[in-house]
Amino acid sequence: MASKQARAVQTNRTASQQDDEESRRAISNVEHHPLIRFIELQDKQNGVTEVQIPVPYGSIAGKWFGPKNVRPILCLHGWLDNSGTFDRLIPLLPPDVSFLAIDLPGHGYSSRIPDGMSYFQVDCIPLILRIMREYGWSKVSLMAHSMGAVIMFIFAALFPDKVDLLIGLDALKPLSFYPDRFPERMHKQVLKFIQADLRNQEKSEPPSYTYEEMMDRLYEGTAASVSRETCPYLLQRNIKPSRKFPGKYYFDRDNRMKYNVISGWSDDVNAELGKRITAPFLTVKAMDSPYPGSKEGFDQMVDILKKANPKYEVVYVPGSHHVHLTEPEHVVPVVVDFLRRYWQKEVDVVSKL
């Protein structure tokens, strides 16, 4: 059940805040690009339901796949992505399993944090607890990609008794920073954050592009990790039609997210976190994707997890960092096998839909 306080904050948001959020979600039918309509039709065919989860600064948006009376696997996307990253994977997974893919704060259709505030990856830890409380879950199952998988790792280590299943897609642990590089990196991040925050407060329209140019920018920005054919699945919730230039669009995600504060601690801390994770845990590593930090650091954490958790496993599949989106057929058999062994249906969940 949602807390009365959270609902009260949601109700008392200013009309301006509500208008801004509705405006970010609204892309008129007249201005819809055919590829956006195609994805909307897919969602309808797959029985996807849009959800809104109240938080003190607005709401968290999400897409619910599967039965509404079954506790879903909560899905967390990667940095600057959104819940659309799972649009091609989840429909290929068992239909009796439910999934709730959310847009993290500042992404997709979810609310931005207030002006002047910074994004911290660890802020998503209490967000998961808030979602659990909203739906009345005593346990949470998680499937996550990239930054979302790092958040999942931290949550599972801090609250091992609240997690019953973990699926990480092409990421494993928080990055470890070199002490001599960290101060200069943070110095640059803070200055860039201030610039992005001021641009938000000006409320001026960002640069706009044709839809095809938007696909090119996303494709190039991910170093071809997202194929041009699958760019629309991420663009759908990340863009808005320009009011100045008909037929063009701009990125509507919060630019402060580019300079979010990544959890930075030593390898020793990561090792201790890894030892605390006890739930069945699958890591799907894309073979054509670079290792965050280093392969040695990844392998060391795999060894730690295997020694501490007999239900941990890592499977390597061909594909890029976004393999679950671009080539989900490589990921599906691995995830289905894992779900068959460890997923347990929890029915009679109170639906908020």
Report the candidate in 179, 170, 150 with the shortest Cα–Cα distance to residue 265.
179
In a domain, 39, yes or no: yes
pLDDT 10s digits, 102-155: 999 999 999 999 999 999 999 999 999 999 999 999 999 999 999 999 999 999
Centre a 10 Å sphere on the Cβ of residue 183 and count the other Cβ atoms it contains.
9
In a domain, 126, yes or no: yes
Total domains, the chain: 1
**What does the pLDDT read at residue 277?**
98
How far is Cα 322 from Cα 145, in angstroms, rounded to an integer? 8
Give pTM, 2 decimals: 0.89
In a domain, 115, yes or no: yes
Coil/strand/helix, residue 217:
helix
Centre a 10 Å sphere on the Cβ of residue 168 and count the other Cβ atoms it contains.
25
How far is Cα 16 from Cα 114, in angstroms, rounded to an integer? 13
How far is Cα 207 from Cα 242, in angstroms, rounded to an integer? 9
In a domain, 289, yes or no: yes
In a domain, 57, yes or no: yes
pLDDT 10s digits, 241-272: 999 999 899 999 999 999 987 766 888 999 99
Residue 177 clears pLDDT 90, i.e. is over it: no
Report the candidate in 84, 98, 89, 101 with the shortest Cα–Cα distance to residue 40.
84
* DSSP letter for each residue of 104-117: PTTSTTSPPPPTT-
Q: At what angle do helices 124-135 and 147-158 cross, to 10 degrees?
A: 70
Q: Please name every residue paired with 74 in a beta bridge, in sequence order, or none if there are none.
A: 100, 142
Average pLDDT over residues 307-327: 98
In a domain, 111, yes or no: yes
**What does the pLDDT read at residue 213?**
96
- Name the residues annotated as catalytic: 146
In a domain, 60, yes or no: yes
pLDDT 10s digits, 203-227: 889 999 999 999 999 999 999 999 9
Rounded alpha-carbon distances, angstroms, from residue 196 to 19, 69, 134, 249, 254: 21, 41, 32, 19, 9
Residue 39 clears pLDDT 90, i.e. is over it: no
Average pLDDT over residues 287-303: 93
pLDDT 10s digits, 67-87: 999 999 999 999 999 999 999
State the CATH number of the domain containing residue 40.
3.40.50.1820
Q: What is the mean pLDDT of the chain?
A: 89
Largest CA distance in the chain: 58
291 HSE (CA, 13 A, CB side): 14
In a domain, 38, yes or no: yes
Which structural domain, as residue segments, surrounds residue 81? 32-178+263-342
Q: Which residue has the higher pLDDT, 13 or 122?
A: 122
